[in-house]
Structure 1
Amino acid sequence: MKPHWWPGNRVQLLENGEEFFPAVFDAIGQAEREVIIETFILFEDKVGLHLREVLIAAARRGVQIDLLIDGFGSPDLSDEFVSGLTSAGVRLRSFDPSLRVMGVRFNVLRRMHRKIVVVDGRVAFVGGINYSADHLMDFGPEAKQDYSIQLQGPVVIEIRRFVRHAIQPAPPPDADKPPRGWRAARRRWQRHEETPTAIEPAGPAEALFVRRDNLHHRNDIERYYRIAIRRARSQVLIANAYFFPGYRLLRDLQRAARRGVDVRLILQGQPDMAIVKTAASTLYDDLLRSGVKIHEYIERPLHGKVAVVDDEWATVGSSNLDPLSLALNLEANVVLRDRDFASDLRQRLEQLIERSCREVPAPAPDHQPRWWPAVRNFFVFHFLRRFPVWAGRLPRHSPALVSVAEATNGR
C-alpha cells in the first residue's frame, strides 16, 4: 500500500531515554485494551526490567500485550525474564532468532530494526530508541544521543494497522498446507485488525508513515529523503548515526549544496563502532568540496536518525543512511510537515552543533589527496553506486516470528 499523508496530528519530540521512557511507560500504564511494541533491542537491565514491570501490570489488568523483539538484537533474555512476561499473558515473539555458532551470531542480515509502540490505537511512538540503559545519561561516556516522537491523531490508525499485520500468526514454516486451526486464527486476527477506529484530529501536523521492507517498500524511506533534498530551498540538516548512503542520495546532497542550500550533516565523532567513522570519512572530501558542511558529534555516541528540511519538513525514525538500513533491514520512519515541530527539531540539532560538535574543515582548493585515499574513494564510489543491485541478490528468506516462550521451553 502506498504511503498516505494524514492531516490533523499532534507530534512531540522526545530526546534520549530521559524523555522517551517515562512517556512510553506512562502510556502503557494508562492502557485499557491493547499495547503493541516492536523493538530491535531489549536488554535485561534497569530499563528492560522497568518495561517488563509495566507490561506485566498492564497484562494483569486485562490489556492485550504483544511484544516483538529481534532475534539478533535481543538474544540473551533469561528464562526468568521471559516467563514473568508470558505467565502474565504477554505474547512475546522473536523475529528470526538463530542459535550461536561458537558463540557468534551470524543472523546479521535483514533484521527487524523498527522501534514502534502503539497503545489502544490512540497514541504511537516511532523513533530510534531501544529499551536499554545506554540511552540514559547516567550510563556514562557510552550513553547514546537519540530521538523519538509521540504521535496522536489519524496517522495512529495506519501505524496500528501496520504493526498488527507485522505480528499476526504465521503458518508453520515446514507445513505444505497451513492447518485448519491456523487459518481460523488468522481470520479472527484479520477481523480484529480491520475493525475501524475513528480518531479525531489532534493537532496541525501532516504525517506520513514510511517503512522499508524487502518486498513492496524497498526504497520508500530513501525516496522520501531524496524528494525533500531535491526540493530544498534554504536548508538541509541531517543527524544520522551510521552514514554511508547510496550514490543517488549523495549526489542529491551535493547538488543541493551547489545550488546554494545550506546542507549540514551531524555524524559520529565518538562512534560506538570504529568502522562507522572510517566508512563515513571516505565520503568527506567529495561532500566538503561540494559545499556540504560536516559536524562530528564528539560528546558521546550518536544514535539518532532525524532530519529537517527548510521550515516545515522533518523525519524521525529507525532508519540509518547506510547499506543495512537502506537495502536490507526492516525500518520505519515518520515524515512530518509541521512548522513548529521542524523548528523544535532544528533548534535542538543546532544546539548540538554549537555545544558538542567539531566541524570538519574543507580541504584546500589546491590540496591533492595521496594515492591511497584516492584509490579507496574510487572503489567506495562504485560500491555505493552498485550496492542496491548487489543487496537485492542477497538471500531474501522469509524470517519466522517465533514465540519466545516456546523457544525457551525447547532449550
Structure 2
Amino acid sequence: MMKSKNSLIVPKNLELVYSGEDYFSRLEAIIRNSQFEIHMQMYLFENDTTGNRIITALKEAASRNVQIYVLLDGLGSLSFPSETIKEMRQSGINIRFFAPLFSTYTFYIGRRLHRKVIVTDAKTVLIGGINIADKYCGSATEAPWLDYAVQLNGEIAQPLQKLCADIYFKKRRLQNKKIKSSFPVQEDAMVRILQNDWLKGKNEICDAYIKSIRNAKKEIIIVGSYFLPGIRIIRALKKASKNKVKIKLILSGKSDLPLTRRATCFLYGKLLNYNIELYEWNQSILHGKVAVIDGNWTTIGSFNLNNLSSYGSLEMNVEINSALLSKMFQKQLIEIIAQCQNITLNSLKTKNNLFTKTINFLSYCITRIIEIIVTYTPYKRFNN
C-alpha cells in the first residue's frame, strides 16, 4: 500500500508516524517508558483489541505509580463501557469525559474534543489524527485507515502537558492561552502547535491553512478526509490556482460517512474548473488531515477542512517548517497519488448522471444544514 516508510523518519526530535502498527507500537512504547505523568486526550477510544492493548499498557504504567489522566470525548467515545472505566479507575487511572452528551448543565452539540494528543513526562508528544481503535491499526486482512501523526521530543512537550492538565482539571482561564512560540526541534525544523476552538477565540489552524495557501508559490498537496471547506479556504485555493500554483487534493474514495463523501463530490465540478487536481484514495478509508506546501511547510493533526473543525470542535495540529521533512513527506504523498483514481472533468461527466448529481446536491444541502445546527447551536446552561 505505502512504501518507504523508514525514509520519512527524521532523526532525533521529530518523526512522522503512520496509522497502523507504526503508530500503536510507538504509543505503547511511549506509555511503557513513562516515569511520572501521562496525559491522553482522544476523540474515539474503542474497547476492542487495539483499545485493550493500550489500556493494558496504561494499567502497567499506573502500577508503577505514573500519574495518568485520560480525557475522552463524550460523543466520540460514548460507547466506551462503564465497566472498563471502573476497572481503569480501580487501577489508578484518572479518566473523565469532555462534554458528556447527557448533561444537566450544558448543551452544545458541536463543541467536541476532536484532538488526538498524548504527552508523557513533559518530554514526549504524539499528535495527529489517529484514534485508538482496530480500524486505525489494521490487520492481516484489512489495511488501516490512512492517517498520520507526529512524534516530538524535547521542550515543546512542556507547555503541551500544562495545556492538557488545564483542560483535564477544567482550569478555564488557563486553558484559553495559546501556545505562541515556535520550537526548534532540530537544526532543520521549527515546530509550532496550532489550536482551533472557535468558541474560545482560537482559529490558529484555519488561519494557518489560509495564510499558507495564499502565500504558496509552486505546489499545494492536501489530504482531506471529510473535505467540505468554508468560503475562505475555497477562495484561497481559487486565488492560488490563478497564481499558477499546482494544487493536488487527495480525497476519500471510500468513507465511513457516505453522506459527507457525496457532499464533497458535489464540489468536484467547481474544484476542477479552478484547475485543481483531484485524486480519490480507494485502498482503505481515508482519515488523514495533512498538507504540504512548496516543500517547506507541513501541517499534520486532527483538523478537517470543514466547518465542524473550523467552528465547532477542539482541534490540534502541528505546523512544521522544515524543507527536509516536507520534501520527504511530499514524495510520499506523490506515491499515494500514484495509487489513487484521478478525477477529471471527462471522467466526472461519464460518472455523473442526473440521479447522481441530484443525490450529491441533496447530500451537500443536508450536510451543510447539519453543520449549521451543530456548530451554531447556542451554548445553553440549564442550571446556573
Q: TM-score, normalised by structure 1?
A: 0.78
Deviation at 1:17, TM superposition (A): 2.3
Q: Deviations over 1:326-356 (max 9, x none)?
A: 111111111110112112221221111112x
Q: Deviations over 1:108-139 (max 9, x none)?
A: 52111110000100010110101100012317
| Larger Rg over CA atoms | 1
Match for residue 144 of structure 1?
145
Deviation at 1:284, TM superposition (A): 0.9
Secondary structure in 2 aligned to 1:308?
strand
User: In the alignment, is residue 27 of structure 1 matched against residue 30 of structure 2?
Assistant: yes
Q: Deviations over 1:85-119 (max 9, x none)?
A: 1112111011122359xxxxx97521111100001
Contact 1:136 1:143 in 2 (8 A): yes
How far apart, in 2, do the equivalents of 1:246 and 1:112 lie?
21
User: In the alignment, is residue 73 of structure 1 matched against residue 57 of structure 2?
Assistant: no
- The code of the aligned residue for 1:166 comes to I
Match for residue 7 of structure 2?
none
- The code of the aligned residue for 2:128 comes to G
User: In the alignment, is residue 361 of structure 1 matched against residue 344 of structure 2?
Assistant: yes
CA 1:293–1:134: 2 relative to 1, 3 Å: same
How far apart, in 2, do the equivalents of 1:375 and 1:63 lie?
52
Q: Which one of 232, 250, 255 corresponds to residue 248 of structure 1? A: 232
CA 1:312–1:398: 2 relative to 1, 3 Å: farther
CA 1:74–1:376: 2 relative to 1, 3 Å: closer
Match for residue 87 of structure 1?
90
Match for residue 169 of structure 2?
168
- The code of the aligned residue for 1:98 comes to L
Q: Which one of 12, 37, 41 corresponds to residue 38 of structure 1? A: 41
Q: Which one of 258, 262, 267 corresponds to residue 283 of structure 1? A: 267
- The code of the aligned residue for 1:56 comes to K
Match for residue 276 of structure 2?
292
Match for residue 306 of structure 1?
290
Secondary structure in 2 aligned to 1:83?
helix
Q: Deviations over 1:273-323 (max 9, x none)?
A: 211221111111111111100000011110001100002100000011112
Structure 2 residue runs without a partner (length 5+)? 1-11, 175-182
Secondary structure in 2 aligned to 1:138?
coil
Secondary structure in 1 aligned to 2:259?
helix
Match for residue 263 of structure 1?
247
- The code of the aligned residue for 1:245 comes to P
How far apart, in 2, do the equivalents of 1:358 and 1:201 lie?
37
CA 1:378–1:232: 2 relative to 1, 3 Å: farther
- The code of the aligned residue for 1:213 comes to D
Deviation at 1:379, TM superposition (A): 12
How far apart, in 1, do the equivalents of 2:48 and 2:373 lie?
38
Match for residue 210 of structure 2?
226
Contact 1:17 1:129 in 2 (8 A): no
Deviation at 1:396, TM superposition (A): 2.4
Q: Which one of 176, 180, 190 corresponds to residue 206 of structure 1? A: 190
How far apart, in 2, do the equivalents of 1:290 and 1:203 lie?
38
Contact 2:184 2:190 in 1 (8 A): no
Deviation at 1:376, TM superposition (A): 8.1
Contact 1:71 1:94 in 2 (8 A): yes
